[in-house]
């Protein structure tokens, strides 16, 4: 694969570095932005344009048309446009360009997708699956309980360190997107399993290796998000759950079950760490769909 020109590569890196400095860009997001910008730059190069700062709105539209013909999803294209908008706003701010080629280009309309939902009985089965007499099983049990009790993102869960837990007060300090901190209550059940795991089995996994990671792997280092999802899929099979699992399955269940039981939407927003209430509102649609389904099933005139 042909390498990008030095000027193009430097422009992309400078933009990503500025995002990291200004917004604390997460590694996963940075890699995603880098892939999108690199793909766009390579497509332009194939069209005979080797300068990102010389791009016109027509070229952007041609790239979007090519993506459509190549069957890219509207969701991935919307993410790409968000990335390009940020990149060219930065170029304007740095006086590298005089006009924004994204001006007037609208995002594709996205279908409103509802999260795949685990029922409360599904969650109970999943949480009961690990063998708590085993060090790995007890660690996984504590992770699942904490994930469901607090609605954490997987990365937030795997990056937890001991100083971020306060079992006496029953709260966890979470480092979310953009390095924003929030305090989330643990609940009695999660606090119980965390304390049991930390006092009895965590040292067994560490095998005398120093680490502040709450959930080390069997190698004694902080678990990766990929490893955790291998573990949760394993316990889903053990529990007999055949529904597809996504990286946010238990986070979705946490939010939906709270709203089903009458929680205020703004409280759920704070617990999830959403900066915009509209992001949280999707869970009201999940709850409404569930109510409609129950009404149709049980009402004599449903």
Residues forming the active site: 153, 177, 248, 251, 274, 283
Question: Residue 144: exposed, middle, or buried by beta-carbon count in 10 A (0-12, 13-18, 19+)?
Answer: buried
Q: Tell me how far the alpha carbon of residue 278 is from its chain's centroid.
A: 16
In this structure, the number of other CB atoms found within 10 A of the CB of residue 68 comes to 12
Tokens of 183: 């305090």
In this structure, the number of other CB atoms found within 10 A of the CB of residue 240 comes to 10
Contacts of residue 298, defined as CB under 8 A and 6 or more positions apart, other chains included, come to: none
Residue 112 pairs with which residues in a beta bridge?
A: none
Where do we find the tokens 């059940």?
189
Q: Output phi, psi for 165, to 5 deg.
A: -100, 135
């Amino acid at each position: 694969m042909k390498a990008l020109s030095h000027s193009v590569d430097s422009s992309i890196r400078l933009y990503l570095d500025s995002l990291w400095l200004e917004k604390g860009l997460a590694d996963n997001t940075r890699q995603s932005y880098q892939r999108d910008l690199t793909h766009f730059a390579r497509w332009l190069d194939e069209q005979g344009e080797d300068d990102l700062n010389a791009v016109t709105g027509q070229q952007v539209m041609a790239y979007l048309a090519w993506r459509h013909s190549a069957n890219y999803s509207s969701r991935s294209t919307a993410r790409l446009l968000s990335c390009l908008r940020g990149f060219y706003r930065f170029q304007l701010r740095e006086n590298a360009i005089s006009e924004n080629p994204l001006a007037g280009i609208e995002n594709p309309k996205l279908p409103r997708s509802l999260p795949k939902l685990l029922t409360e009985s599904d969650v109970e089965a999943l949480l009961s699956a690990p063998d708590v007499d085993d060090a790995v099983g007890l660690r996984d049990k504590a992770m699942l309980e904490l994930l469901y009790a607090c609605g954490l993102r997987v990365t937030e869960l795997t990056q937890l360190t001991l100083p971020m837990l306060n079992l006496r007060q029953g709260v966890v300090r979470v480092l979310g997107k953009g390095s924003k901190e929030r305090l989330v209550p643990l609940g009695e059940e999660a606090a119980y399993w965390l304390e049991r795991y930390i006092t009895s089995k965590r040292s067994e996994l560490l095998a005398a290796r120093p680490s502040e990671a709450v959930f080390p792997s069997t190698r004694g280092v902080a678990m990766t998000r990929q490893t955790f999802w291998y573990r949760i899929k394993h316990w889903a099979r053990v529990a007999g759950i055949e529904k597809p699992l996504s990286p946010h399955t238990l986070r979705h269940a946490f939010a939906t079950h709270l709203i089903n039981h009458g929680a205020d939407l703004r409280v759920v927003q704070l617990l999830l760490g959403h900066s915009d209430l509209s992001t949280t509102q999707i869970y009201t649609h999940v709850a409404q769909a569930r109510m409609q389904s129950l009404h149709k099933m049980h009402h004599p005139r449903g």
